[in-house]
Amino acid sequence: MPKLLSYRQLLSPRLALVSSTSRNFSMTFTPLSIVVLVVSIAVTASVSGHEFWIQPDRFRTRVDASVDLRLYVGDGFPGEHKPRDAKKLERLDVIGPDADSNPVAVEGKDGADPVGSFTPVKPGVYVVSYRGRESTLTLEAEKFENYLREEGLEEVIKKRSELNESMTPGREAYSRCAKSLLCAGNSTDGAWNVKSGLTVEIVPASNPYAAHAGDTVGFVLLRDGKPVANAQLTGLSQVAGKTVRATARTDAAGKASFTLKQSGLWVINAVLMDRVDAKAGRADVDWVSIWSSLSFDIAGANQVEPAAPDSKR
């Protein structure tokens, strides 16, 4: 029997077509079926990838050195960077390390990749924030249930069962919030724990730029500035070029912790979903979700802090 694709694979922006030599399974494609398959996958991939994160061209930089910003989407790493899309972009800004810093918009041309750039003028940790506009998708029942299960959304699964919707397609409106922390110069102080005001955001409980591989760091999930309890956070890192995922549940204070075993890029991800408000009068979707992420770099166990290489990493 062929292996069912996961939600992540189905919504990945990349599709690998492979031939099978199995004597127990074969597939025959007609020209029409190939067209239908490609169109279906293209539509699905265009509306959604699984993880979404901000990735600067380097997380550790010199003061007064321009940093390019890219938006990545994919089934884990490396993902694919996407051009700036004015129709989807609601907010893209950076907050500096000073306590009284205000968000400064990151400008850029529609269709540009990277989506923008900025130059840190003081040493310390900066936070880049992104807010996207709403999109919609519909998934057949089994795929939607798998998606909910992977994201730890058991309450939604339960609610669908109570409403006798478990066997019906999932109609969802979703939007994305993302943050990225980067460090400039010889200071790790600054905006690492700033609440940027995103609808859903992930805030470190301790400074990732003061941590090293092997340290445990806590993260707090906020919605409208308030902690979210019993939500799943997923931590993504890379080992030998492969994506490794770990999950944890937030406690009553909205906090979950991860032991950051690997140095390099980390992304902490969360998905929150609610039944559409009946007062909204929407007939196109049944569920509304917000996907949130936080990206940052973890130093190696023996790395002297901070690392601010002249070359891009």
206-209 CB contacts, 8 Å cutoff, 24+ apart: 207/125, 208/181, 208/260, 208/266, 208/296, 208/297, 208/298, 209/125, 209/181, 209/183, 209/296, 209/297, 209/299, 209/305, 209/306
| Same-domain status, 35 and 91 | no
pTM of the model: 0.83
- The string of pLDDT tens digits covering residues 66-86 is 999 999 999 999 999 999 999
Would you tell me how many other CB atoms lie within 10 Å of the CB of residue 157?
14
Q: Does residue 104 fall inside a structural domain?
A: yes
Residue 56, strand partner residues: 69
- 41 and 163, same domain (yes or no): no
Instruction: Give the model's pLDDT for residue 99.
Output: 82
Residue 116 inside a domain? The answer is yes
Structural domain boundaries, residue 141:
50-298
Residues 187 and 60 in one domain: yes
What residue type is assigned to position 273 of the chain?
A: M
pLDDT digits (tens, 9 = 90+) for 48-62: 447 999 999 999 999
Mean pLDDT of the chain: 86
Q: Are residues 30 and 179 in the same domain?
A: no
Does the residue 309 lie in any domain? no
Q: How many domains does the chain have?
A: 2
Q: Are residues 18 and 105 in the same domain?
A: no
Same domain membership, residue 197 and residue 70: yes
Residue 302 is predicted with a pLDDT of 56
Instruction: Check pLDDT > 80 for residue 149.
Output: yes
Instruction: Report yes or no on 241 lying in a domain.
Output: yes
